[in-house]
Amino acid sequence: MARPPYTKGLHDLGSGSYAWLQPDGSWGWSNAGLVTDGGESLLVDTLYDLRLTAEMLDAMRRATPAATRIGTLVNTHANGDHCYGNQLVAGATIVASAESAAEMDELPPDRMASILKNAGALGPGGAFLLRCFGGFRFEGIVHTPPTETFRGTAVRRVGAKEVHLLEVGPAHTKGDILVHVPADRVVFTGDILFIDGTPVMWAGPVGNWIAACERIAAMDVDTIVPGHGPVTDAQGALRVGDYLVYVRDETRERFDAGLSPADAARDVALGDFSSWGDAERIAVNVHTLYREFSGGTLPAPNALELFALMGELAQR
Ligand SMILES: [Zn+2]
């Protein structure tokens, strides 16, 4: 079927699956999904705050009675723009990888709320944090973690349909999964795919992520719903892998030459990829690659310094 347009809201993918899209896909503006069959439903991810998530759930209930009571919520990974709205689906079975469930506890919504409240006093890093996330409302959100976890693969049922949960992380985060619905020929990739936006690698190793892109491209599906950006196809998935290979190789040269990670991030020319949004994420990607190249001996960078460097790169 025709690819849905990249407009805000709910898009019927046919066969009972839906995509909720939030242009422009930049920092915090994530996609989600719904799988229905026989009056049952499974939600793929919630959104960054309660207002956005409530608006999505309303639209889903208007589109299909199956969304009136969501039986299962799957979180593709631990970033808040995919799970901070979980509170509004409390009562559902909430499923994530064990690694994601643990990672969600590291930055619960109340912590994010207090970081942003103080961000004005945190210099350039705080300023860029506010620029990225200042439009969302984190105050008062109740941390609502998964109720069931798995490692590797798991199968859930929605009516007569199977939903396959495939762990491909650590990559973007520590426990990324893909949500594949074979009967609907759809895969929801979470943030393994950013389309027309720059991937951000918080965890790595990069090889896991490149392999995941190839795995998505080889799937027998018609519709690929990324974590951010428009619905895409196999070529779109491979293009994300191309970015990661390019950045890996460019970063390796600078690592071997002894550049600091910050100078390497300033130095890599993004070429064709510079047209993708949020190109400043190269700063995170280079730092994560440096840690990988060093065999994990480099300490994790200070998050505020990373955001300050991204703010600097975003000015260019
Ligand atoms: Zn995201």
How many whole angstroms separate alpha carbon 112 and alpha carbon 80? 9
User: Mean pLDDT over all residues of the chain?
Assistant: 97
| Contact predicate 192/216, CB 8 Å | yes
Ligand 1 centroid to residue 258 C-alpha, Å: 32
Question: What is the Å distance from ligand 1's center to 33 Cα?
Answer: 13
- Please give the distance, rounded to the nearest whole angstrom, from the Cα atom of residue 21 to the centre of ligand 1: 12
Which residues make Cβ contacts (< 8 Å) with residue 62, sequence separation at least 6? none
CA distance 225 to 184: 12
**Ligand 1 center from residue 87 Cα (angstroms):** 18
* Residue 47 contacts residue 56 (beta carbons within 8 Å): yes
Q: Compute, in angstroms, the gap from residue 98 CA to the centroid of ligand 1.
A: 18
pLDDT of residue 82: 98
Give me ligand 1 centre to Cα 104, in Å. Answer: 13
In the reported structure, the alpha carbon of residue 193 is separated from the centroid of ligand 1 by a whole-number distance in angstroms of 9
In the reported structure, the alpha carbon of residue 227 is separated from the centroid of ligand 1 by a whole-number distance in angstroms of 6
- Ligand 1 centroid vs 196 CA: distance in angstroms? 13
pLDDT at position 296, please? Answer: 86
Say how many Å lie between the CA of residue 83 and the centre of ligand 1.
10
pLDDT of 1:
62
Å from CA of 278 to ligand 1 middle:
13
Gap from CA of 5 to ligand 1 centroid (Å): 20
CA 125 – ligand 1 centroid, Å: 20
Distance 30 CA to ligand 1 centre (A): 5
Q: Which residues pair with 180 in a beta bridge?
A: 164, 187
DSSP summary character for residue 142: P
With a cut of 50, list the residues of the chain below it in pLDDT: none
Å from CA of 257 to ligand 1 middle: 33
Half-sphere exposure of 116 (CA within 13 A, CB side): 18
**pTM for this entry:** 0.98
pLDDT reported for residue 109:
98
